[in-house]
Structure 1
């Protein structure tokens, strides 16, 4: 599995700007053509330029897998209508959650097998997630933080988690999501993995200042070492 570096708007926190699954990448408008081509090639996805309520922070506000995409309640109707049309060819359902939790990308850690979501979500929220994502969803904090999506990135085979995640919680992540994981950091020591890493079943892209030793650990986590 190839791992490459990328910055967005000169910022190495690429995970806050980009959402990916195995079909598409939602990227903010204005990225250089070379960067878009690299994302498409490494991850094997089609690129869609998108904003959530005018914000470029797709990675923060969007969560999903190969079955569906979840958006916060404040997304503009024109944006959701456009996205529904664009992703219909992939069989992806798009739905807005009425939840008071809006940073969905930070609150949901998932793949195509299962999901671990913030306990701040209501039972109704979880019911909708299950309908759209078509996976089992478990509400639980990790490290006593209600942001499991910020603490790791996984695909269907492996992933990376916060370096201070307790071993019992590492085991929980492995069991629920059905993956192997490695503890690591991104961007020269940042422990909140989601901020600096995007991945799917084909490839991994990390923030531009991620170091060589970090990349080696990330590669092991995703089964490449």
Structure 2
């Protein structure tokens, strides 16, 4: 299933929402109708939280079904609230590094992870352990360091910024063990993470996404209508 959505009138829904195959972290400010849409389309439990008193969960959080990586600026009470909601279903780990926009710097599914070269190498082993992936790769894509903002990948397929080379696209397919295709969202936006939230069961796209863009995303992520 794939459906259109906005958050507070903004089509950049991936800025506000993080999702894996178990949960979705949404801003407490969104409507009950939107929470239900997230739950129904993605088939997950919806958790309304802030991270560091901000509602940009998709920017601040990275992870997969095994673990969530949280920024060092998360408040203790926010961490406790998240832990209470999630329990032992997903491991929570604060990544004590200088950078805080982890969702823009780390892309992962349940097979592999790609990490921005701006993240210090000592953090890579922790990322690997928390996510439970076989390998973590660190590199630019199309000479851009914010690799997490350029990719949306599930265990069924992935989409990436159209500026990547064919060699880079093939590398991503090897890292994540799924076919990765180039795509745009929201009428030509290259940074696909900003306008797309997806898991193995479904996807939400920003409501400025065109019909051809939606079809390409749907095909790349191997989703039904």
With the length of structure 1 as denominator, give the TM-score of the two structures: 0.96
Paired residue for 2:212? 213
Conserved 8 A contact 2:162-2:190? yes
Deviations, residues 45-81 of structure 1 (Å, cap 9, x unaligned): 0010111110000000000111011111011011011
Paired residue for 1:199? 198
User: What secondary structure does 2:87 align onto?
Assistant: helix
Conserved 8 A contact 2:201-2:223? no
What are the ranges of 5 or more consecutive residues in structure 2 without an aligned counterpart? Answer: none
Q: 1:89, CA displacement in angstroms?
A: 4.3
Q: 1:31, CA displacement in angstroms?
A: 1.2
Paired residue for 1:161? 160
User: What secondary structure does 1:185 align onto?
Assistant: coil
Match runs of 1:109-124 below 5 Å: 109-124=107-122
Paired residue for 2:29? 30
Paired residue for 1:82? 81
Q: How many residues align?
A: 223
Paired residue for 1:148? 147
Conserved 8 A contact 1:71-1:97? yes
Q: Which contiguous aligned blocks of 4+ residues in structure 1 show a shift greater than 4 angstroms?
A: none
What are the ranges of 5 or more consecutive residues in structure 1 without an aligned counterpart? Answer: none
Paired residue for 1:55? 54
Is 1:71 matched up with 2:78? no
Conserved 8 A contact 1:182-1:220? no
Task: Work out the CA distance in 2 between the residues paired with 1:184 and 1:138.
Answer: 22
Task: Work out the CA distance in 2 between the residues paired with 1:224 and 1:20.
Answer: 16
Note the aligned Cα RMSD (angstroms): 1.1
